[in-house]
């Protein structure tokens, strides 16, 4: 308080006192959840010791008979021009933009490889009841202008989102250009042939042996996602549970009854069902389970912040006259939406999306904002920055907690369902059904006070010395964090990537730290591009990030071909990636907002807080982490930087040569 007269202490305002109390509560709640085992508390299903858990990672949706009946779309040793690893929205966007740029002409110019049995990525694997996109479908669903598709609802269902992936594949003739059921193990740059060698295991179902394949590619495009590897907590005794168990990312309708399109879960009738986890997935699933289970036990470690949803069907008149009413509407809508989340909305601007997301300028705590200068890395400036964002978040977070009290009738349950962290620490959630479920007599919140489930046995789960007998157990326990391996684009999908001289991409990240130009390519790994995560601008709408990454990559490729012909080799130089990494590291103090966050995949299970508590000081390691940060002026500003780079036209910092 600068109004304090000389010689007196400033008098904190009631708001300041409230903020102080709140931040102390947030810190205490976060520290309570810190675990010494950090990321090690989980194991990816695929790598679980128990055969039973490994089997849970398999694709429940694939039609092996149909795929085996078709001739394989790839032959051993074939050389492709573009090999796209991943056939979700990201992979599809790469393909569409490459085709539009005229870079795909021959029959072997383009192939997808994906472990799934079809297109869709996230929307292939996830088919749990209640699944919808959490970002408005008019902004989230890619290529709406090009396909002319009108989403049925403001938030499209999982089925609709998957069907849209198929629609894109149909419109751009991609159905025969994908090798599905195929795990990519490794990609290696071969200096002699100047091609990527790609090692793939193609599954053929339980009745046929799998096929090991070696393919070659001029360009490898990694579109293998961020949340693709379901994980299970290492709860002692979990494997001994005698009832059915499955992960939400591989929903088992043979147990629950119903289908993704008709979640009439009659298999749960008369059953005691347990669900571990209360993240964004559980928020959508719980109301559906609550409808059918005899008793539903929701095992909570950290509550989600649950705000209002406002789902509604698309009004065809509004669609034509106010939404899809001009060319370029979708990008404009995405940026309008983003301006609210980066605290950049102009006075009097029309809020086109106008949903719960757009009430969160404090989400700039993770996305950045163009309104503020780079945060100087001094204790005072960092404290000022974090304090400002806590303040910006406070009213909205209080409203979300008040909403919980208004909806949940039992005050004790309501109290346990309140989230005590700022909006950027966990994916914010939106539901007009989740909190209401806890008013049903068959729904029981088992709050573990931040500790998690203690143990499991043949008949159920145990928390704080109390046993909960169950018939069915559902794991809603999330995914391996995309920040694994320092955010290496290889580590997050388990693909080993070896560049020039056999150098491993994971080693480069581990030893040197993130190093890219604009988040999409790295030196020593020619003709390899990946979807931006570290060192780029991010949006809460993941598809906008994928589009931005795709546009930029295709620009590089088109320019390279224009200069060196179809055999071009394009590679960022080391000085250029260092300059960009330094630019990112300079902005890293912004991310101090995450230090106090409750553990979760966004905070690498509380890694920074643990280091702060243990007073770890390692400047070299800190600089590596700083390089792993993002562009902190928001995605619109990042897009401007990329546009200026493209307009300048010389592909600064990138070497283009013709293949020998």
Please report, as ranges, the residues that interact with ligand FAD according to CB under 6 A: 86-91, 113-116, 121-122, 124, 126, 133-135, 140, 183-184, 223-228, 281, 493-495, 531, 541-543, 546
> What SS3 class is residue 543?
helix
Q: Which of residues 23-52 bind ligand NDP (CB under 6 A)?
A: 33
Confirm if 480 and 44 have CB atoms less than 8 A apart.
yes
Which of 491, 490, 501, 514 shows the shortest CA–CA distance to 189? 501
Q: Which of residues 438-467 bind ligand NDP (CB under 6 A)?
A: 448, 452-453
Q: Does 282 bind ligand NDP (CB under 6 A)?
A: yes
Least Å distance, CB 154 to ligand NDP, is 13
Q: Does 344 bind ligand NDP (CB under 6 A)?
A: no
Per DSSP (E only), the strands in 229-377 are 231-233, 245-247, 272-276, 295-300, 306-307
Q: Does 279 bind ligand NDP (CB under 6 A)?
A: yes
Instruction: Report the phi/psi class of residue 113: left, alpha or beta, with left for phi > 0 and alpha for psi in -120 to 50.
Output: beta
Which of 211, 181, 203 shows the shortest CA–CA distance to 77? 211
φ/ψ of 363, rounded to 5, equals -65, -15
Confirm if 478 and 279 have CB atoms less than 8 A apart.
yes
Q: Does 133 bind ligand NDP (CB under 6 A)?
A: yes
User: Given the complex with ligand NDP, which of 282 and 569 has the nearer CB atom?
Assistant: 282
Rounded-to-integer distance, Cα 491 and Cα 482, Å: 8
Rounded-to-integer distance, Cα 460 and Cα 468, Å: 6
Q: Does 428 bind ligand NDP (CB under 6 A)?
A: no
Residue 64: Cβ within 10 Å count: 16
User: Given the complex with ligand FAD, which of 143 and 226 has the nearer CB atom?
Assistant: 226
- Angle 599-335-228 from CA coordinates, rounded to 5°: 40
Q: Does 229 bind ligand NDP (CB under 6 A)?
A: no
Least Å distance, CB 487 to ligand FAD, is 15
Least Å distance, CB 430 to ligand FAD, is 10
Q: Which does 63 bind (CB under 5 to 8 A by kind): ligand NDP, ligand FAD, none?
A: none
- Record the tokens describing residue 240, joined without a space: 């001994």
The stretch among 132-140, 490-498, 581-589, 651-659 that binds ligand NDP (CB under 6 A) is 132-140
Cβ neighbours for 296, distance < 8 A, ≥ 6 positions apart: 273, 274, 275, 286, 289, 290, 437, 442, 443, 444
Q: Which of residues 598-617 bind ligand NDP (CB under 6 A)?
A: 600-601
Q: Which does 601 bind (CB under 5 to 8 A by kind): ligand NDP, ligand FAD, none?
A: ligand NDP
Q: Which does 276 bind (CB under 5 to 8 A by kind): ligand NDP, ligand FAD, none?
A: ligand NDP
Q: Does 278 bind ligand NDP (CB under 6 A)?
A: yes
Least Å distance, CB 538 to ligand NDP, is 12
Tell me the longest C-alpha to C-alpha distance in the chain: 86
Q: Which residue is nearest to ligand FAD (CB)?
A: 121
Which of 287, 303, 295, 302 shows the shortest CA–CA distance to 468? 295
φ/ψ of 43, rounded to 5, equals -135, 140
293-312 footprint of ligand NDP as x/- string (CB under 6 A):
------x-xx----------
Confirm if 33 and 452 have CB atoms less than 8 A apart.
no
Confirm if 225 and 88 have CB atoms less than 8 A apart.
yes
Rounded-to-integer distance, Cα 231 and Cα 476, Å: 9
Over its C-alpha atoms, the chain yields an Rg (Å, rounded) of: 25
The stretch among 58-66, 96-104, 276-284, 486-494 that binds ligand NDP (CB under 6 A) is 276-284
Q: Does 478 bind ligand NDP (CB under 6 A)?
A: yes
Q: Which does 279 bind (CB under 5 to 8 A by kind): ligand NDP, ligand FAD, none?
A: ligand NDP
Q: Does 427 bind ligand NDP (CB under 6 A)?
A: yes
* Kind plus residue range of the DSSP H or E element containing 187: strand 182-190
The stretch among 109-117, 126-134, 326-334, 532-540 that binds ligand NDP (CB under 6 A) is 126-134
Q: Which does 122 bind (CB under 5 to 8 A by kind): ligand FAD, ligand NDP, none?
A: ligand FAD
Contact residues for ligand NDP (CB under 6 A)?
Answer: 33, 132-134, 227, 233, 235, 276-282, 284, 299, 301-302, 427, 448, 452-453, 476-479, 600-601
């Amino acid at each position: 308080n600068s109004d304090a007269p000389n010689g007196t202490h400033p008098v904190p305002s009631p708001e300041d006192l409230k903020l102080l109390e709140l931040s102390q509560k947030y810190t205490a709640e976060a520290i309570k959840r810190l675990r010494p085992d950090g990321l090690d508390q989980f194991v990816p299903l695929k790598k679980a010791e128990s055969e039973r858990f490994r089997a849970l990672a398999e694709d429940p949706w694939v039609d092996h008979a149909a795929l085996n009946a078709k001739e394989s779309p790839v032959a051993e040793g074939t050389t492709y021009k573009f090999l796209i690893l991943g056939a979700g929205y990201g992979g599809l966007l790469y393909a569409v933009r490459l085709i539009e740029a005229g870079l795909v002409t021959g029959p072997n110019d383009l192939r997808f490889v994906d472990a799934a049995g079809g297109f869709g990525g996230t929307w292939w694997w996830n088919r749990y009841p209640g699944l919808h996109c959490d970002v408005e479908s008019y902004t989230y669903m890619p290529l709406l202008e090009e396909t002319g598709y009108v989403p049925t609802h403001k938030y499209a269902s999982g089925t609709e989102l998957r069907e849209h992936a198929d629609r894109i594949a149909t419109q751009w003739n991609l159905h025969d250009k994908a090798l599905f059921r195929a795990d990519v193990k490794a990609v290696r740059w071969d200096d002699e042939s100047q091609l990527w060698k790609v090692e793939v295991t193609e599954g053929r179902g339980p009745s046929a042996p799998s096929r090991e394949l070696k393919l070659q590619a001029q360009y490898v495009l990694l579109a293998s996602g961020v949340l693709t590897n379901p994980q299970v907590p290492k709860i002692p005794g979990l494997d001994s549970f005698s009832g059915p168990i499955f992960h939400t990312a591989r929903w088992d309708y043979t147990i629950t009854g119903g289908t993704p399109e008709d979640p009439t879960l009659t298999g749960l009738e008369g059953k005691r069902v347990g669900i571990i986890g209360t993240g964004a997935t559980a928020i959508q699933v719980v109301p559906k389970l609550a409808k059918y289970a005899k008793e539903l036990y929701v095992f909570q470690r950290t509550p989600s912040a649950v705000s209002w949803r406002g789902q509604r069907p698309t009004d065809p008149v509004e669609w034509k006259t106010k939404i899809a009413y001009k060319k370029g509407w979708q990008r404009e809508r995405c940026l309008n939406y983003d301006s609210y989340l980066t605290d950049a909305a102009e006075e009097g601007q029309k809020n086109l999306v106008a949903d719960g997301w757009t009430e969160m300028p404090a989400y700039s705590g993770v996305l950045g904002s163009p309104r503020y200068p780079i945060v100087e890395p001094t204790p005072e400036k960092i404290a000022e920055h974090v304090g400002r964002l806590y303040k910006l978040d406070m009213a909205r977070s209080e409203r979300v907690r008040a909403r919980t009290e208004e909806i949940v009738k039992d005050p004790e349950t309501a109290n346990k369902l309140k989230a005590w962290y700022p909006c950027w620490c966990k994916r914010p959630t939106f539901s007009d059904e989740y909190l209401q479920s806890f008013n049903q007599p068959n729904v029981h919140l088992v709050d573990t006070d931040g500790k998690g489930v203690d143990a499991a046995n043949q008949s159920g789960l145990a928390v704080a010395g109390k046993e909960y007998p169950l018939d069915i157990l559902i794991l809603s326990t999330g995914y391996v964090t995309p920040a694994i391996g320092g955010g290496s684009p290889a580590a997050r999908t388990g693909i080993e990537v070896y560049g020039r001289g056999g150098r491993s991409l994971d080693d480069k990240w581990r030893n040197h730290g993130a190093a890219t130009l604009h988040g999409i390519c790295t030196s020593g790994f020619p003709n390899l591009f990946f979807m931006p995560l570290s060192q780029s601008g991010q949006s809460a709408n993941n598809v906008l990030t994928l589009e931005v990454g795709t546009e930029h990559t295709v620009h590089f490729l088109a320019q390279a071909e224009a200069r060196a012909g179809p055999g071009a080799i394009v590679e960022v130089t080391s000085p250029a990636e260092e300059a960009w990494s330094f630019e990112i590291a300079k902005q890293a103090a912004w991310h101090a907002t995450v230090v106090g966050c409750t553990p979760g995949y966004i905070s690498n299970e509380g890694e920074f807080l643990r280091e702060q508590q243990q007073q770890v000081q390692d400047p070299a390691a800190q600089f590596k982490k700083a390089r792993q940060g993002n562009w902190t002026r928001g995605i619109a500003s990042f897009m401007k930087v990329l546009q200026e780079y493209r307009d300048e036209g010389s592909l600064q910092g990138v070497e283009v040569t013709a293949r020998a």
